[in-house]
Structure 1
């Protein structure tokens, strides 16, 4: 059976840390693919600050 695990963090180092913990427990032979995405959104209409969203999806066999 094919499964997915979704990850979403505000900082890229946090995403790296949680994904590495998950991947340590996953047999390499079961890993099919990893999809990665970054989104940047304005904090609000008045602010020049941006909010970042770093996300990834691990596709694997159970």
Structure 2
């Protein structure tokens, strides 16, 4: 069975930490792919919000 695990954070370092914790738990042979995305939104005049997300595709 193929599964996905989704991650979403405002800071890239938080995303990295959470993903590394998850990846430590699965066998490297089960990892199929990782999809990564960054989105930026202009909230107010000078404030820009970032969204760092990733999807890990793996065999269960």
TM-score grouping bracket, smaller chain normalisation: over 0.9
| C-alpha distance in structure 2 between counterparts of 1:12 and 1:26, whole Å | 22
Shift of 1:43: 1.2
Q: CA RMSD in A?
A: 0.6
Match of 2:58 in 1: 60
TM-score by length of 1: 0.93
TM-score by length of 2: 0.96
Misfit runs of 4+, over 4 Å: none
Unaligned runs of 5+ in 2: none
**Cα deviation code 1:17-61 (max 9, x no counterpart):** 0000000001000000000000000113xx221000000000000
